[in-house]
Amino acid sequence: MDMKKLRLHPFFIIVGIFFVFRGQITVFLNTLLCVFLHEYAHSVAAKKRGYRITSLTLMPYGAVLNADSGLSDEDAFAIYVSGPAGNFLAALSVVALWWTIPETYSFTLIFFKVNLALGVFNLLPLYPLDGSRILLSMVKNKKRCLRILTVVGYVASFTFAALFVASAFYKIVYSFAIVSVMLFIGASVEAEKEKYVLFCKEFFCIRDLSRPLRKIELYVHTSAPVGSVTKELTSDAFYTVNIVDGNMRILKKLEGTELEKLFFTEKSRPMAALLRKDDSVSL
């Protein structure tokens, strides 16, 4: 991984200073290493699928990975699963090390615990953790799912904040405060970025020319609603939409800017509304 692409989020630096101030340098260094392994697993999986990583911003829970092109659902699932998988693999490697060289137990216990915790924590369906991104790659209505994940993220953030306050009456747990802030940042800042990405993906005309594109031809009956067509259009292909009658005769071809106009047409209108009186039958 190109180290020039590696960045530290300000919150990560603040957490690091906090651990150093409390004399927990060993814990912080192990966390830094585990986070790096987590994101290295992401980057390896992304490169194997042909994506070029433009930057990695390290966060206390992992990192924000940016690529030079949008991820397909299948690729997104594999890439985001790879991070926690990398942590679990590292934890299993430590267990194997204990089995062969028991003397290393005391030196590697923290590394094992952090990897295990990081892997499990990232699988939670809380944005922007990997679990939420995995879930987004699996559902069809991504905008609705993102709204739910954002609400859940805020609820979880306030819950951890309450736990932090409650812990002050017994034995204060600073990790609750750290997790609360992380989830709040994810639900507010990172979720807004994801909304923009999903907005762009809705418009098939915003194509990613850095990846191969398919040419797809669709046949749609005149009675079909416009919305049934727009939901099929994605940014990874060039489309030709043929409006046909009951005998599968092509009444009109829609391409380019004519297809773009569909997104600004009432979704419940039938495709027949796009036919003009002077449209001739294409043979």
Nearest to 202 by CA among 146, 263, 144, 149: 263
* Nearest to 62, CA basis, from 27, 32, 19, 17: 32
The pLDDT value recorded for residue 39 is: 81
Using 70 as the pLDDT threshold, list the residues of the chain that sit under it: 1-12, 52-71, 189-211, 235-236, 276-283
pLDDT tens column, 56-106: 666 666 666 665 556 677 888 988 899 899 999 999 999 999 999 988 888
Give residue 277's pLDDT: 47
One DSSP character per residue, 149-217 reads: HHHHHHHHHHHHHHHHHHHTTSS--HHHHHHHHHHHHIIIIIHHHHHHHHHHHH-TTS--TTS--EEEE
pLDDT for 227: 82
| 251 three-class SS | strand
Neighbours of 21 (CB within 10 A): 9
H/E element, 242:
strand 237-244
pLDDT at 220: 92
> Quick one: pLDDT at residue 279?
46
Predicted TM-score (pTM) of the model is: 0.64
147 three-state secondary structure? helix
pLDDT for 173 equals 80
What pLDDT does 232 receive? 78
